[in-house]
Amino acid sequence: MLTTIISTIIVLGILVFVHELGHFLLAKRLGVGVLTFSLGFGPKILGRKIGETNYQIAMVPLGGFVKLIGENPEERVKEEDLSRSFSHQPVWKRALIIAAGPFFNFFLAVVLFSTTNLFGIPYSPPKVGEVNPGLPAESAGLLKGDLILSINGQDLKTWEDLSRIIRGSQGKELHLKVKRAEEILEFRVFPKPSTVKNLFGEEVSTFVIGITHSGEVLIEKVNPLVAIGSGFVQTYQGIKLTIVGIIKLIQRVIPAKTIGGPILIAQMAGEQAKRGLLSLVLFTAILSINLGVINLFPIPILDGGHFIFLILEAILRKPISIRKMEIAQQVGLILIILLMLFAFYNDLIRIITPEGRFDF
């Protein structure tokens, strides 16, 4: 329990700090004054004023904020501070300050992935685990433990290399070179069309030969440049997967009951912490990507909602009226609260019934 609480505080604290740090640093860099840098909402627990900025930790840890001079267009700003007022900045400057939060979350993911990659990048070799009866691999003579070295002369390194070639074979004959114990053997196999479920539970048509991977994981040591490059690739893939997952959720391909809230995050953080520091770091990277993507949703009060206001201002060539912005932000706040309540409800259902449903 203590491990779960501590790991959750650390993970959420890092994510919120990095997100708000993005807004803070770019605002400072672009000459906009910052009045408050807060980790958490609600009553202040502790804080200190340095220069014009109040740095504080607040009671409710589920978020944070940076308050800028003139952030509210109706706010009265001193004459000498007008040039440092957020609302008096051109659209492009305000857009950059808003974008800096999600960008820093993505950058954090790159840093965390790259750091773990320095210790080695895990991969699954193209080694056969089980051979399914009645399918082409069994007919061809493949056995458990066979290491598939190449297909049609193309060398294989990972299980994903093997899977990609088989899926794209269109059922054409494949020439496999296999290492079995100390022997090098050759096999010919015709992939069979099949329907399988993808990552999102959708049934898709593909081709299979009837083997599963061994579950073996190897670590490849790489130089720092490769580690950093892989960190960027992993972050891009994480962003893409998160966006596709959200689309599938809207399309109801993924059930809404999979949405999780603070309790689920805490449970997962605790589980990853028990597995070790590396697992917790990777979990933090994935969560940082999710936070960055979600903040770009076009919902008022989120960063993406502010982008919508700026786009409309640029098109109309005048600021959106305060009244319309207030109404939109109130609607956005209601949507966020409802989503949080729904996520919290799902969390409770998972605790009450592990299958995620009521038992009658």
- What local confidence, expressed as pLDDT, does residue 356 receive? 45
Spatial contact of 13 and 278, defined as CB atoms under 8 Å apart: no
Spatial contact of 209 and 137, defined as CB atoms under 8 Å apart: yes
Spatial contact of 284 and 112, defined as CB atoms under 8 Å apart: yes
State how far the Cα of 352 lies from the Cα of 345, in Å rounded to an integer: 10
Spatial contact of 272 and 279, defined as CB atoms under 8 Å apart: yes
Terminal CA-to-CA distance of the chain, rounded, Å? 30
The residues that are catalytic are 20
b/e code 60-96 from CB counts within 10 Å (16+ = b): ebebbbbbbbbbeeeeebeeeeeebbbbbbeeebbbe
CATH annotation of 123-219: 2.30.42.10
Residue with the bigger pLDDT between 69 and 78: it is 69
**Residue 3 CA neighbour count, 13 Å, CB half:** 12
Please name the helix (run of DSSP H) or strand (run of DSSP E) that holds residue 43, with its range, or none: strand 34-50
Mean pLDDT (whole number) for 262-281 = 79
- What local confidence, expressed as pLDDT, does residue 272 receive? 81
What Rg value do the Cα atoms of the chain yield, rounded? 26
pLDDT at 344 over 80: no
Please name the helix (run of DSSP H) or strand (run of DSSP E) that holds residue 176, with its range, or none: strand 174-180
Domain range list for the chain: 2-119+234-352, 123-219
- For the chain, give the mean pLDDT: 87
Spatial contact of 281 and 115, defined as CB atoms under 8 Å apart: yes
| Per-residue model confidence as pLDDT tens digits over 4-49 | 788 888 888 899 999 999 999 999 999 999 999 999 888 899 999 9
State how far the Cα of 120 lies from the Cα of 169, in Å rounded to an integer: 31
Q: List helix spans (H) across 30-132.
A: 91-117
Q: In the chain, what's the furthest Cα-to-Cα distance? A: 84
- What local confidence, expressed as pLDDT, does residue 279 receive? 85
3-state secondary structure 287-307: HHHHHHHHHCCCCCCCHHHHH
**Residue 226 CA neighbour count, 13 Å, CB half:** 9
Contacts of 46 (CB under 8 A, 6+ apart): 56, 57
Angstrom CA distances, 169 to 127, 173, 189, 273, stand at 19, 8, 11, 41
Q: How confident is the model at residue 359 (pLDDT cuts 50, 70, 90)?
A: very low
Residue with the bigger pLDDT between 96 and 329: it is 96
pTM score of the predicted model: 0.83
Torsion of CA 16, 331, 306, 240, to 10 degrees: 60
Contacts of 273 (CB under 8 A, 6+ apart): 3, 4, 6, 7, 279, 280
Angstrom CA distances, 302 to 85, 138, 211, stand at 20, 54, 46
State how far the Cα of 145 lies from the Cα of 148, in Å rounded to an integer: 9
